């Protein structure tokens, strides 16, 4: 069917049919999925807090995302008079554009081998064949903070300005452990290509998943990526208790909705990368192997990948209603005193294993030992806000004799 679709177009256009189809599918699916992920998070938080979630619009509240979208579209779009109008309008577009662009090199299914334009194969990736796919994602993802900075600065509001300054400091700090967490993967897989890392895991099956040899890198990557996405407990740039909304205080209607869309698209990208880099991607024993050729095998592989990604999204949503928000000094300390040293230790362990030609499974106990040691060191570190013991002064006066008599 796909071949007939490609052959329907003139010869010069055929190489672009499948990439354009992939773009259309990704954009439309992302928009719909983001809307219903918001409903899922509201339902999940209601279940965790023992209350009712959205249940009025449609059966079981399933039409609530449609109502929310109509509200954003029909709501008055207020632009305060004291803002820089050009940058104020441009900021949400930058955030959405960068998050969608980062997803261009993320496989959302089994990428066919020897893929060539115009051959009728669906690519399951918008931009295949990028050897530095991980670097591309980190480079584009870091640009998303420019939308936040422009939105906060252009608002000409002190709360917004403080929020964008916090966001810039946070992103710069957590980019370092985020990038260092995948250095070990690159050394073990001899590549920075997301597709090649995925194929190496699929070729070796369940024992070849990177989570067995890089558990510490997985933890560092997930925490740093959560901080990059400004998700709780890392949403210091927009916390209502201190900054009444932070960098998007002055935004309303669809421009505020674009910021929210960018955040959830970032969450989806994080979930895909976590599964693809560490949990085998679409590979699953017996039902989705690299040599699976039964009818519907491709659909099963896509469903396996999406199921794994959905599980990570659920974990991210549950963390939002489980862990309290950090103070800003704790946020910075976690990056500079915790994640960055651990990422350096992880790279050092991989280099030792490679240098002495040890089996890669040695990395599992070594990584666990490093993580436990770091936790023990953290518990023994000084607490600057701990209450100090007040020394007891002996009273030698009348009160002392009185107390002694009693």
Q: Residue 315: is its pLDDT beyond 50?
A: yes
The pTM of the full predicted model, rounded to 2 decimals, is 0.87
Task: Supply the pLDDT for residue 234.
Answer: 85
Cα–Cα distance, 304 to 315 (Å, whole number): 17
Task: Supply the pLDDT for residue 157.
Answer: 84
- Tens-place pLDDT, residues 251-290: 888 888 888 888 888 899 999 999 999 999 999 988 888 8
Domain hosting 254: range is 75-112+127-292+299-378
Rounded CA Rg of the chain = 25
Give the pair of three-digit tokens for residue 395.
Answer: 């009273």
Q: Is 212 inside a domain boundary?
A: yes
Q: Which residue would you say has higher pLDDT here, 241 or 31?
A: 31
Task: Provide, rounded to the nearest whole percent, the portion of the chain with pLDDT above 90.
Answer: 21
Instruction: Tell how far CA 312 is from the center of its chain.
Output: 10
Q: How many domains does the chain have?
A: 1
CB 118 within 8 A of CB 284: no
Q: Is 65 inside a domain boundary?
A: no
Mean pLDDT, the chain, integer: 84
Q: Is 39 inside a domain boundary?
A: no
Phi first, then psi, for residue 345 (nearest 5°) are -65, -40
97 CB burial (10 A radius; 0-12, 13-18, 19+)? middle
Q: Is 4 inside a domain boundary?
A: no
Q: Is 143 inside a domain boundary?
A: yes
Q: Is 340 inside a domain boundary?
A: yes
Q: Is 51 inside a domain boundary?
A: no
Rounded to an integer, the average pLDDT of 55-81 is 86
What is the Cβ-side half-sphere exposure of residue 13, based on CA atoms within 13 angstroms?
A: 9
Rounded to an integer, the average pLDDT of 168-176 is 87
């Amino acid at each position: 069917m796909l071949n007939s679709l490609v052959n329907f177009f003139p010869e010069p256009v055929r190489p672009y049919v499948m990439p354009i189809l992939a773009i259309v599918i990704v954009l439309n699916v992302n928009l719909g999925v983001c809307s219903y992920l918001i409903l899922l998070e509201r339902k999940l938080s209601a279940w965790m807090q023992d209350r009712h979630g959205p249940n009025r619009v449609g059966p079981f509240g399933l039409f609530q995302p449609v109502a929310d979208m109509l509200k954003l579209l029909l709501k008055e779009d207020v632009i305060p008079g004291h803002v820089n109008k050009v940058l104020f309008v441009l900021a949400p577009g930058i955030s959405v554009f960068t998050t969608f662009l980062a997803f261009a090199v993320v496989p959302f299914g089994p990428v066919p081998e020897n893929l060539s334009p115009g051959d009728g194969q669906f690519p399951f990736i918008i931009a295949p064949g990028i050897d530095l796919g991980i670097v591309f994602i980190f480079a584009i993802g870091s640009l998303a903070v420019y939308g936040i900075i422009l939105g906060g600065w252009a608002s000409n509001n002190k709360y917004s300005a403080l929020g964008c300054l916090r966001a810039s400091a946070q992103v710069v700090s957590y980019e370092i452990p985020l990038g260092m967490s995948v250095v070990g993967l690159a050394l073990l897989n001899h590549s920075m290509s997301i597709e090649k890392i995925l194929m190496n895991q699929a070729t070796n099956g369940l024992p070849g998943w990177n989570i067995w040899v890089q558990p510490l890198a997985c933890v560092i990557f997930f925490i740093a990526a959560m901080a990059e996405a400004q998700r709780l407990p890392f949403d210091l740039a927009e916390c209502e208790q201190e900054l009444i909304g932070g960098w998007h205080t002055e935004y309303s209607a669809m421009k505020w909705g674009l910021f929210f869309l960018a955040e959830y698209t970032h969450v989806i990208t994080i979930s895909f990368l976590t599964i693809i880099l560490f949990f085998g991607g679409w590979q699953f024993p017996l039902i989705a192997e690299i040599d699976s050729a039964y009818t519907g095998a491709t659909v099963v592989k896509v469903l396996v990948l999406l199921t794994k990604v959905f599980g990570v999204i659920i974990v991210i949503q549950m963390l939002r209603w489980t862990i309290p928000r950090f103070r800003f000094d704790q946020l910075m300390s976690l990056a500079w005193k915790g994640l960055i040293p651990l990422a350096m230790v992880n790279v050092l362990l991989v280099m030792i294993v490679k240098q002495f030609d040890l089996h890669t499974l040695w990395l599992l106990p070594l990584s666990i030992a490093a993580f436990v040691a770091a936790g023990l060191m953290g518990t023994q570190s000084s607490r600057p806000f701990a209450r100090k013991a007040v020394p007891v002064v002996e009273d030698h006066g009348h009160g002392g004799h009185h107390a002694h008599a009693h």
